[in-house]
Amino acid sequence: MKKLLIRIVIAAFALVIVLLIVVFFSLNSIVKKGVETVGPKLTQVEVRLGAAHLSPFSGQGRLTELFVGNPQGYKTPSAIKVGDVKVGVEPSSVLADTLVVQEINLQAPEIPFDGTLTGNNLSKILSNIEAASGSDKTEKPAAKKGEKKFYVKDLLVKAGKINVSITTPLGGKSATLALPEIHVQNIGSREHGVTAAELAEEILKPILASATKAVAERLTDLGTGAQGTGKGAVEEATKGIKDLFKK
């Protein structure tokens, strides 16, 4: 009886090891499928990922060719394009309720800014994400049982480019601006992780705020004939930037 019990324990342990190996070596396909499945549900736009390259041992890796499409009604085909996203996760947290992400480093994102300061492609996507996360409601929906949570220690957006496209009564105006570096730390915590929707919201908020501020500061050079780009709109957009971080 004792020998049988030992055999059962050994078999169960071996099964767990096999399952862990399968999960770890399937990380790349799991991440890619997860981004392309969950992303569109949150943003209500097309989301694609070229590939994921994650080490099952160190947790370090890269996501390549991330594409976030534009909502209907906007001219440009994409809202965000990132060729290289450096990521790092704690391997021991992969099977835990909260995935601990050491870093998310978005290198040289291309961000078309399509519309006005107070109503554009990025603000529309953020509105969609807020609806999914429940932050636009007085009372947030209860977390779903078994829903994966995230704790991101460090978020860096560096060397980004904003492609501005604004329509004016005198014709189209455009410009290419540098996106100021964005650095955010401690999104969520080990004890209280954020949902995928909340994480997407916390990533897009500073990008929208930084892009809006950069465009607002350049408006005098672009001309004040643009729709929604007069002095009042600039002041409203500036207030909106501050309001983003109060939510």
Res 41 pLDDT > 80: yes
Quickly tell me which residue has 């009042």 as its tokens: 232
- Cα diameter, the chain: 89
- Angle, nearest 10°, between helix axes 27-43 and 121-133? 100
Q: Taking the model in full, what pTM does it have?
A: 0.80
Segment 24-52 shows an average pLDDT of: 88
Quickly tell me which residue has 């350049």 as its tokens: 218
**Which pLDDT band, with edges at 50, 70 and 90, does 151 fall under?**
very high
Segment 53-74 shows an average pLDDT of: 92
| The two structure tokens encoding residue 210 | 């930084």
Res 225 pLDDT > 50: no
Lowest mean pLDDT among 152-166, 189-203, 225-239: 225-239
In this prediction, residue 92 carries a pLDDT of 87
